């Protein structure tokens, strides 16, 4: 049984675990797609944009490309998806593309996220450990009232999850031992990488992150230290008061 009294800090994946990226991006896409007369469903476009996420980061993880922040990758991926849908991107102003790219800064939390984080914050240090860059995370936190004690992750250590460097150096920044830190994520792969670095792990199920037909991450695929229905459930399991 996991000794929860040893845990001093919780690190959170953000996209999908704390915020609903798909609905937020689709919402901001709708007026843009209408203005540009692009005949594609906004959720379909959001999914296509997100599918470019991992391949773009793999270029950096592999060493084929120097580190650039996620805002840069998102904008490049946006141009790629627009082109795939037959859009002449040169006909769209840079300002409009920049504004659309900021959809990732405007995401809404899942209904339990803020309450759950506030409960967990009373007992633990809580920090983001996201592939999102700092300005993106700041904008999102301000809009969604996410009460982080610190914003950490890819831009701080100049590497993208699930590279071991991200977890190891973030724990070092906090001045803690890996066993004193718990990674919280809705993605089994993220937790597997964190566990290999000595962190404790907590799985939070988000069965509609990828929409109603989601097939991945519907359950804990390993015996993680904690498995929770949402962040309030995790707070209860960790002994945080309501």
User: Per the confidence metrics, is the pTM higher than 0.85?
Assistant: yes
Go through the chain and tell me how many residues it has.
242
Q: What tens digit of pLDDT does each residue of 176-220 get?
A: 999 999 999 999 999 999 999 999 999 999 999 999 999 999 999
Instruction: Count CA within 13 A, CB hemisphere, residue 112.
Output: 17
Distance CA 91, CA 83 (A): 12
Distance CA 37, CA 23 (A): 21
* Residue 47 confidence (pLDDT) above 60: yes
Q: Are 89 and 97 within 8 A, CB to CB?
A: yes
The confidence band for 5, taking pLDDT boundaries of 50, 70 and 90, is confident
Q: What percent of the chain has pLDDT over 90?
A: 97
* Residue 1 confidence (pLDDT) above 90: no
Work out the mean pLDDT of the chain and round it to a whole number. 96
Q: Are 77 and 48 within 8 A, CB to CB?
A: no
Distance CA 181, CA 155 (A): 20
The confidence band for 4, taking pLDDT boundaries of 50, 70 and 90, is confident
The whole-angstrom distance between residue 178's C-alpha and the CA centroid of its chain comes to 21
- What the chain holds in terms of domains, given with CATH numbers, is 4-18+110-237 (3.40.50.1000), 21-105 (1.10.150.240)
23-39 mean pLDDT: 95
């Amino acid at each position: 049984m996991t000794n929860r009294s040893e845990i001093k800090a919780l690190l959170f994946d953000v996209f999908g675990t704390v915020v609903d990226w798909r609905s937020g991006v689709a919402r901001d896409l709708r007026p843009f797609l209408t203005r540009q007369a692009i005949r594609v469903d906004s959720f379909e476009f959001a999914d296509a944009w997100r599918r470019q996420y991992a391949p773009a980061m793999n270029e950096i993880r592999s060493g084929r490309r120097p580190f650039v922040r996620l805002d840069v990758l998102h904008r490049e991926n946006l141009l790629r998806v627009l082109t795939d849908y037959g859009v002449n991107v040169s006909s769209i102003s840079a300002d409009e593309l920049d504004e659309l790219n900021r959809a990732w800064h405007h995401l809404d939390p899942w209904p339990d996220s803020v309450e759950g984080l506030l409960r967990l914050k009373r007992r633990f240090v809580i920090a983001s450990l996201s592939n999102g860059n700092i300005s993106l995370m700041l904008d999102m936190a301000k809009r969604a009232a996410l009460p982080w004690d610190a914003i950490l992750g890819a831009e701080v250590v100049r590497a993208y999850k699930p590279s071991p460097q991200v977890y190891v150096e973030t724990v070092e920044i906090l001045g803690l031992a890996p066993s004193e830190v718990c990674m919280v994520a809705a993605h089994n792969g993220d937790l597997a990488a964190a566990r290999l670095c000595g962190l404790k792990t907590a799985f939070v199920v988000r069965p509609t992150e990828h929409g109603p037909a989601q097939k991945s991450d519907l359950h804990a695929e390993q015996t993680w230290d904690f498995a929770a229905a949402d962040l309030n459930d995790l707070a209860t399991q960790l002994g945080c008061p309501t």
